[in-house]
Structure 1
């Protein structure tokens, strides 16, 4: 999320209006190779792929407009893509170019080169503009028709972009690429810095007169394939860049973490007179300030504020961020929730720090490179309790942040007083992930076989805590009554797929103002199954393994690309009880005993799958525990992690054989 007040801070007026291409841009006369009438070569292996990128050129030029006395930003992009299949054609035969609200791209051309060397240039008349239905952002979209398998699609354009002082460029996708170039050009008066992740560093280009330039060229960039237990987006090669110095400011570094701390602190905590009055109205209506400090512990006071705001105000991204308007309409954007909640906590004397971070699933926060491009998500940290809160997420409660905000670092900002002056300091610190026991997904199942062994009755309780519960618990009261039974049965059928004849079905802990860390989401039911027990001649087969629910299998043949990274730490605890039918014995009870672990601590490994059973007369109780206590695991030791995951998948196939006693 790019925060609105930050976006306003970054824009310059000239970037929104002019559409004339300045003649002294570095790439003002950019063109493709007009003499080329044959396709570029590809290998035999590449010819079998859906597509391969043969040129990927991106140039960003910050240009000083002398007439407007302002900086403008132009992007030149050039792509050549060989498409070898229907999927490849479908993915690349529509070219989408974002444009400013005031007009079209400055210059754009497209053509195809067919397998037999036929060249077809797309005419301007074939281009049509569409509007993004959600945000109204403009696009120029044009289709490249009549593309055959084996054709090349080539296009380039120069367009004006909104000026920003930092940004990101993705250099890798799931399609392999050759001849990849990214360059960043600016006037001599502006010095940009860049950091490349998962690739080589950009280097200064000194060949451009009166300009500074950073350049990166790669002959080959491999395509990324999807991979289980990995954040593939975060592993893409990308370049982060920022404006570091301005000639007018000398050697003073710009847009530092210290600058960000001051700016964010003021944005979250400052109030106009009218906004202060609006906050007073909220305090009076909510009676929050009347809560006795000695009667209600600090965590409960924190929760009271959070619950009042999140239950009485609606999240609406198009709403005004002004607190006076928010209080009047009860609608607020994400920034409005942070602003309002901060004002209330300050009024109640509750100390907190603002934490700003990014999603580790896409662009992990890097505290060693001070680009404000990482300032995406706001959280509050309460030093007195050591807990966090996501003010702009109505689906989360005190003690929990979205999982992708945790397990990395963020900028912690706290207010300080210098005499009568209020200021702020910031420090990059870790944002810990929740422990495995805080995100539980437990099953308690009691299986009773019919006297004639024709079917089974299962009493099944599922207990979801932490992140598994967060997917359904906050939304339960908003689900139509008519749909709730269907959803509950669906949850039970994830464990007993052929469940039928539900004799009991109930749910607990569905209130909107509770946390799954305190009260897990519980579904309990009683149902019948005909498939759990099969007859095979004189014996019966009890498919006990299916009661674990669906399991992931890691049987990949390709070499592992990335380190393991889980969404969150989590645990599963399953307890299964059943009575062995009279006159029968279980042949293979030892199949229930499994102990697989990964990690140096044998008593509490990082990951483990353990199952065992206890028999008391005819009653057998099976306990299956599966724990993932660390987010990350090195790919060098991937086999140990895979063994744990596959132990669960293998147990899912366990079938107990019930032999009739002789």
Structure 2
């Protein structure tokens, strides 16, 4: 009898939250927070955005299910915003099993409430998904709706609250019952609340989303991420040490350890140093295997000793791992997360989608990123610079931490040498340009060039060469030749070089009386700018440190001499930290019938705090200023 009573009590307990979410309803007469003065001129204001996710997993009692409730209200201040909010679909994903409830209403400025009828709630194009359209919406109306859907459980989820409009109140609740276990990772804007045993998260006055250049856009979003497992044991298996141990028990799809031994014998590297072994191994893998495209079927008959085939992501990782073990090279398998996405949790692996597996060689302080097809053994992938990675030493069977360094700016250099001649009509130019690229830029563009060169459609390669030679300027590519195309050049940071001959389609000159203005700044291509972005809400985060070095020789046309070139001389340097400063400096000199321009532009850090944005902005805009600048020529007076 006691056993039956305990089962009944447990049954009631796990039903509680599920029943509570399914019986959710709104107030008959809504009460909304007062809109702050700072938001009254916003085109729309989200009054509240409440979401609740409940997961039930218990095979013996109620099976498994996920319930989601979303309750939303927005004030329309401008008619232009109506189309953004008047169509609503109840959580349009592929896991929905049933729409349990869906209600919507319009609250007029005078307080009148118009509830949408059931006939206005219709099936969408997706199976089991309902949708509504608010009709007759006017400026000043409040649109309010809530829905409850039943879905198949998912292992994780993301709820993004920050939108184009400010959000006065955001709320997220995550509950579970049965054997389900869950965790919440909320942005700093949220605070933790507990009422009658229920934990929920709230945030007030979320600022409108601002799309800022060079920022951690996804990481900076105000959002909630949550993790769900089917049991406490599953959650425990997400602890890093357990995760790594389980991961290395996986097997590759198309080869065995014996196949890798044969490959190592073929490479004949047993007498090399570890650094040499890794270089030769990495080059062989990079040049003989390529990843499957998404949706491609794995060929299980692949022979890795024959090379020139495709491999799955997992197989790349285990090809390296087996080789390291056979060669007895000390290594750590490491988990990394893109710094533009988020940070790894110290305790457990949270989102497999955000976690990448790489290798670290502590004795050599070098990295291998198996699934970054362009990147050679040596430096970490740029997304992981200045992050803390979780590691696992397979031989010692112990966890470790690895701090991926920021690679110096002299690793990635983009250099050009241009000789510019005016055509006889004195409007267009021909440019003989040598473009040299090292580091991350060089490796990425070397890979892209080789990939495009193998395509039958040559226009893509032509457009690529034009874009990287003189971006966003209308030119004809008359001829070009690439140098140092082989992947092996990445290990010595040998520049990837493109020599090209270009002819402008658009004019480079403008006449003012007897003066001729030649837009020599355009030779470096049109440059991005921050002219309109006067303020900054987030830190500046760059992909990687880098340097630009340009040398331009302009042959003065016969019958002309230089009047002035003041606009081409620019000197901007950030006042911040000598080791991290960014700078732009251009100089001009005239030698005989030639004008010689040199440009040095450097970004020595990957992060600059928003407090020094104006210092960064003046340097960043300098290249855009230069690209618009001209040299002024005047006719030589006849004696």
Common fold by TM > 0.5: yes
Where does residue 240 of structure 2 map in the other structure?
A: 260
Residues 164-563 of structure 1 mapped to structure 2, 5 A cutoff: 168-186=158-176, 194-203=184-193, 205-208=194-197, 213-240=198-225, 255=236, 259-268=239-248, 270-271=250-251, 278-284=256-262, 286=263, 290-295=267-272, 298-299=275-276, 301-305=278-282, 307-308=284-285, 311-318=288-295, 332-362=311-341, 364-368=342-346, 370=348, 372-373=350-351, 376-417=355-396, 424-450=397-423, 453=426, 455-469=428-442, 470=444, 472-473=448-449, 475-484=451-460, 486-488=462-464, 490-491=466-467, 494-495=470-471, 497-500=473-476, 502-511=477-486, 515=490, 518-529=493-504, 531-556=507-532, 559-563=535-539
Counterparts in 2 of 1:139 and 1:525: CA distance versus 1, 3 Å: farther
Please say if residues 498 and 531 of structure 1, whose CA atoms lie closer than 8 Å, have aligned partners that are also in contact: no
SS of residue in 2 equivalent to 1:649: helix
Q: Could you say if the C-alpha distance between residues 549 and 452 of structure 1 is closer, same or farther in structure 2, counting changes exceeding 3 Å?
A: closer
Q: Would you say the 8 A contact 2:409–2:547 is kept in 1?
A: yes
Query: Structure 2: how far apart are the matches of 1:377 and 1:399?
Result: 17
> Which residue number in structure 2 is paired with residue 61 of structure 1?
54
Q: 1:92 to 1:559 in 2, by over 3 A?
A: farther
- The answer for the alignment partner of 1:13 in structure 2 is none
How does the TM-score come out when normalised to structure 1? 0.79
Tell me the residue number matched to 2:9. none
Cα pair distance change 1:57/1:455, threshold 3 Å: closer
Go from structure 1 to structure 2 and tell me whether the alpha carbon gap of 1:24 and 1:50 turns closer, same or farther (over 3 Å shift).
Answer: same
Q: Given that residues 121 and 130 in structure 2 are in contact (C-alpha distance below 8 angstroms), is that contact kept between their aligned partners in structure 1?
A: no
Q: Could you tell me how far apart the structure 2 residues matched to 1:640 and 1:73 are?
A: 50
CA RMSD of aligned residues (A): 4.0
Distance 1:351 1:277, change over 3 A: same
Q: Give deviations 1:597-624, integer Å, cap 9, x for gaps.
A: 114455x652010111344333332110
1:622-661 equivalence runs, <5 A = 622-661=597-636
Give the C-alpha shift of residue 541 in structure 1: 1.1
The equivalences for 1:560-571 within 5 A come to 560-571=536-547
Matched with 1:576 is 552
Distance in 2, Cα, partners of 1:448 & 1:535:
17
Q: Distance in 1 between matches of 2:43 and 2:562?
A: 52
Q: Answer whether contact 1:434 1:569 (CA < 8 A) is retained.
A: yes
Residues 124, 347 of structure 1: alpha-carbon distance in 2 compared, 3 angstrom cutoff:
farther
- Measure the CA separation in 2 of the matches of 1:516 and 1:110: 62
Residues 255, 371 of structure 1: 8 Å contact kept: no
Secondary structure of 1:81's counterpart equals strand
C-alpha distance in 2, partners of 1:573/1:457? 21
Q: Which residue of 2 aligns with 1:148?
A: 137
Give the drift of 1:40: 8.5
Go from structure 1 to structure 2 and tell me whether the alpha carbon gap of 1:288 and 1:312 turns closer, same or farther (over 3 Å shift): farther
3-state SS in 2 of match to 1:202 = strand
Q: In structure 2, what is the Cα distance between the partners aligned to 1:477 and 1:149?
A: 55
In the TM superposition, residue 513 of structure 1 has moved relative to its aligned partner by 6.8
CA gap 1:49/1:641 in 2 versus in 1, 3 angstroms: same
CA–CA distance in structure 2, aligned partners of residues 241 and 484 of structure 1: 42
> 1:31 — aligned with what?
25
Describe the superposition over 1:24-66 as per-residue Cα deviations: whole angstroms up to 9, x where unpaired.
Answer: 5332311223455x99876787576454322211123344648
> How far 1:548 moved relative to its partner?
2.1
| 1:126 aligned to which of 100, 119, 122 | 122
Residue-pair matches, total: 611
Whether the aligned pair in 1 keeps the contact of 2:66 and 2:150 (CA below 8 Å) is yes
1:187-235: per-residue Cα shift (whole Å, max 9, x none)? 59988664533314313x2503xxxx32222342221211122222211
Maintained 8 Å contact 1:509/1:522: yes
TM score, norm. by length of structure 2: 0.82
Task: For structure 2, list consecutive stretches of 5 or more residues without a partner in the other structure.
Answer: 1-13
Shift in CA distance, 33/401, structure 1 to aligned 2, threshold 3 Å: same
Q: 1:464 to 1:278 in 2, by over 3 A?
A: same
Residue by residue over 1:71-92, the C-alpha shift from the partner in whole angstroms, topping out at 9 and shown as x without a partner, is 7543322222345444552466
* Mapping for residues 606-621 of structure 1, pairs under 5 Å: 606-621=581-596
Distance 2:133 2:488 in 1: 52
What is the CA–CA distance in structure 2 between the aligned matches of 1:316 and 1:271, rounded to whole Å? Answer: 21
CA distance in 2: counterparts of 1:45 and 1:636, whole angstroms = 22
Checking the alignment, whether the CA contact within 8 Å between 1:196 and 1:202 is kept in structure 2 is: no
| Unmatched 5+ stretches in structure 1 | 1-19, 131-137, 418-423
Deviates more, 1:448-457 or 1:620-629: 448-457
Residues 309, 338 of structure 1: alpha-carbon distance in 2 compared, 3 angstrom cutoff: same
* Distance apart, 1:641 and its partner CA: 0.8
Q: Is the 8 A contact 1:406 1:432 kept in 2?
A: yes
